[in-house]
Structure 1
Amino acid sequence: MKLPDGPHTPPLVQLINVLLRPLETLEENAKLYGDCFTTRITGFPPLIVVSHPQAIQEILTADSKLFDAGQTNQILHPLVGDYSLLLMDGDRHQSQRRLLTPPFHGERMRTYGQLICDITEKVTDHWTIGKTFVARSILQEISLRVILRAVFGVDEGQRFEELRRLVSKILDTFDSPIKSSFLFLKILQKDLGSWSPWGRFLRQREQVDKLIYAEIQERRQQSHSSSEDILSLMMSARDGSGQTMTDQQLRDELMTLLLAGHETTASALAWALYWIHKQPTVKEKLLQELESIGDHPDPSEIAKLPYLTAVCQETLRIYPIGLFTFTRILKSPLQLMGYNYEPGTCFAPCIYLVHHREDIYPQPKQFQPERFLERQYSPYEYLPFGGGSRRCIGMAFALFEMKLVLANILSHWQLDLVDHRPVHPVRRGVATTPADGVPMIVVGKKSPTSKPLQSVIS
């Protein structure tokens, strides 16, 4: 079987480029080899990188039985465990997805609106004029508190303070391109004691597991719980045979939600604050729109603001947190873009390259929220949350959180970038994030009469 052409450098060199220069490597390969090319990376089978919207549409809309995707996420196994939704395929994946989707949609979003604004104010309340802070760190604290409250119904007390601290430390274990290599190379995953990077990660994960299992056990001893947090909903759910989820299944899904449900949102928000303060016209338009909705807007009213929505969309376009959708493994023969593929072929639809196509997004390196006000993009031209049967279940929640956090901060505080030089993305685990986390400074605090979110949302 002949595969599309691609870089001919040794697989280890290609891996180093993926770790150290992910965006530049993708762009260089796309320029040389076009909309479809083959990469060969140490530790992985050949990957067919696809960046043509029509080809991506064929992959994402194909019968779910044509591809497997869960088994390609084994790189995440050390973080999320055996029973994570991310690692499932087939009927098992669809069943678990149906179970986990409702808490992130519908009427429950209204409850989360109040929660998000309260937590944002609580975390930023200690800011003072002249104070500098790293945006991603502050936003990570906000988003982690939000997901803890959504998952457990509480984010206070000794157990949750410890859980919050340890989850952050686990993610910091892979906070650079070099450290990220421990996820990509199994040969580095050796426990050489608590002083070694992998050994330290394993001990931190063990501490997190103890806290999660303790919470699960405590909930099981409460025979009648009226709570509507995600853990309670999962514990009360039953599968087709009437069985409830085991402790390990609960643990793995909770780890998936905690890790995927806040780190990505925090990075996206950091990028948004960077672009808003990098381009004064964007900030001015956004502030005018926020001021137009009065003193006590409803969360749903904020979520519908067109320019705020466009700012979030453009943020996720120019530097999507995930560069690819989930890799798909072909299970039956397929013809795509002039090539005949055999079962076992791995396809990697590339979100970043699609988002930077000149024919879809003129001047793709420019941050222009207006492009989302001028036209609609198909789900195969704009896909920051992936697509098809594997699209992120937290998409609506993440966008809702982004809008409310940005609206709350911008309505209460005057901020500026510490350094106005361009910020570049770097690898953090399997995702990308702004280098240095976007250092910012508090310039001023807005008076109560000028705050669109005064007293938070009632």
Structure 2
Amino acid sequence: MKLPPGPKIPAWLLALQFEANPFTYMDANYQRYGDIVTIMFGSTPMIYVSNPLGIKQIFTNTKEITASGTLNEDFAFFTGERGILQLDGFVHKNRRKVLMQAFHGTRMQACGRRICELTQKIIERQTIGKPFVAYSIAEEITLSIGIEVVLGLQEGKRYEKVKHLFFSMFKSEQSKLFQLLTKLPLGTLNLGRWSPQGYLLHLRQEIFQFLDTEVQERRSPSDASRTDMLSDLIFATDETGELLSNAEVRDLLLSPLFAASDASATAITWALYWIHRSPRVRDRLLSEIDSLGENPDPMNIIALPYLSAVCYEVLRIYPTQLFAFPRLVESPVEVMGYELPSGTILIANIYSTHQREDLYPQPKKFQPERFLEKQFSPYEFLPFGGGSRVCIGGTFALFTMKLVLATILKNYQLTLVSQRPERPKYGGLLAYPANGVQMVMQSKRHLQKQSQPLTSGSF
């Protein structure tokens, strides 16, 4: 059986090249081998596809190609053994349905005002004329939103504790010292809280223990009137009609918490970067946002066409998720003219698909207008993956992204500290801005208070 072309050098060396500069690496592979590339990991072929027709086949052929949860076991450290990424089949479908209740319909509308409120409260703390790191601000905003939507916690001791735990984990993973130490021979060993791996294990245990306590206490007495994700899971039943166990509820909360904060913060930060690198884009966007008046309805904000186009272009040029979750070939199947054997792993390459010249002319340029001129299929534009493993919170992430950006841009005049290009840095599934995007608040755009106070929406 002939596999698609690909580099012949060892996988460990390819991993080093990818880590050094993932985008240069993927661009080079695309130029040399095309839109279907084989990387051998031992005897297992891993095939990366950036062709829309091939991606459609991967996502829709559920007979020979499966979205096996066993392929996501590496994420269990953060998401637990019973997290949504590790589940399969009917169980996976059942749990997805429960989780998605918190991210759709009237609940999203109800929390729109609260997102604007939290954004303004946090950005307001910045001192005029003093530089700040946009990623840190975006992370605090999105984590605060995630804690309220997923756990239903309002400000208080528990709220601050869980926020501190997640911040500590994010900062540890992203610190240059941590990343350097984990590359050393003993860097991945648990040598106690003073070692990189030991400290991560400590934080993981603290987070799990916090959630265990929260789940247990929420069950007695339970409150059916609450509308957060934790409450949904407490009342949810499994495929046999039994209530989910406390441990399963805990694990199911983890992926949404990480996604609601880390991925959303990355997307918002990249948006602030691209918007403020292009005066033309910023001016047009401000004109559209200002047209809604002083205190716009959040649902009118998310319907703005140019704001939507800007967000799509941000997610296209540096998608927060570079690859869709892997699929497994269960029985021999033909993909893009190649007969692939059982055991082959298939991965939709989101980044390279978004860089195709035939879909996106001049793909390195930030041009939101392309999304006003053409509607792309879910196999051409797929920032949240696709098929049965599409990101549960993708719709909510885009909803949050629009409201956070509109609130910041409408109320504050920001500039970039430097016009030097911000370099992306790969970590896990995400492409972070390497320096966090440093910005300065020049002034407030609206000195008078809004005519009507913002009111907290119920989660």
The alignment's TM-score, normalised by the length of structure 2, stands at: 0.94
The residue that corresponds to 1:173 in the other structure is 172
The residue that corresponds to 2:39 in the other structure is 39
2:237 aligns to what SS in structure 1? Answer: coil
The residue that corresponds to 1:70 in the other structure is 69
Q: Which moves more between the two structures, 204-213 or 376-385?
A: 204-213
Shift of 1:258: 1.0
Number of positions where the alignment pairs a residue of Structure 1 with one of Structure 2: 456
Distance 1:89 1:189, change over 3 A: farther
Shift of 1:239: 2.0
Query: Mapping of 1:322-401 within 5 angstroms?
Result: 322-401=321-400
1:415 aligns to what SS in structure 2? Answer: strand
Q: Is the 8 A contact 2:223 2:231 kept in 1?
A: no
Shift of 1:25: 1.0
The residue that corresponds to 2:28 in the other structure is 28
Shift of 1:31: 0.9
Deviations 1:249-290 (A, max 9, x none): 111111111112210000000000000100000000001001
Distance 1:161 1:178 in 2: 26
Query: Mapping of 1:15-414 within 5 angstroms?
Result: 15-41=15-41, 45-63=44-62, 66-175=65-174, 189-414=188-413
1:46 aligns to what SS in structure 2? Answer: strand
Distance 1:74 1:189, change over 3 A: farther
Distance 1:196 1:411, change over 3 A: same
Q: Is the 8 A contact 1:50 1:349 kept in 2?
A: yes
Distance 1:61 1:274 in 2: 35
Distance 1:64 1:173, change over 3 A: farther
Shift of 1:429: 2.9
Distance 1:149 1:90, change over 3 A: same
Distance 1:223 1:302, change over 3 A: closer
Shift of 1:356: 0.3
Shift of 1:361: 0.3
Distance 1:375 1:87, change over 3 A: same
Identity of aligned residues (%): 43
Deviations 1:133-182 (A, max 9, x none): 10010000000000100012224222221111111111223216885699
Distance 1:386 1:186 in 2: 34
Q: Which moves more between the two structures, 290-299 or 216-225?
A: 216-225
1:48 aligns to what SS in structure 2? Answer: strand
Q: Is the 8 A contact 1:289 1:305 kept in 2?
A: yes
Report the AA paired with residue 28 of structure 2.
E
Q: Please list every run of 5 or more consecutive structure 1 residues that lacks an aligned counterpart in the other structure.
A: none
Distance 1:259 1:381 in 2: 26
Shift of 1:291: 1.0
Q: Is the 8 A contact 2:315 2:383 kept in 1?
A: yes
Distance 1:184 1:311, change over 3 A: farther
Q: Is the 8 A contact 2:44 2:343 kept in 1?
A: no
Q: Is the 8 A contact 1:15 1:41 kept in 2?
A: no
1:421 aligns to what SS in structure 2? Answer: coil
Distance 1:355 1:124 in 2: 31
Report the AA paired with residue 7 of structure 1.
P
Q: Please list every run of 5 or more consecutive structure 2 residues that lacks an aligned counterpart in the other structure.
A: none
Q: Is the 8 A contact 2:151 2:228 kept in 1?
A: yes
Distance 1:49 1:97 in 2: 26
1:93 aligns to what SS in structure 2? Answer: helix
Report the AA paired with residue 383 of structure 2.
P
Distance 1:45 1:251, change over 3 A: farther
Q: Is the 8 A contact 2:329 2:342 kept in 1?
A: yes
The residue that corresponds to 2:7 in the other structure is 7
Distance 2:441 2:373 in 1: 33
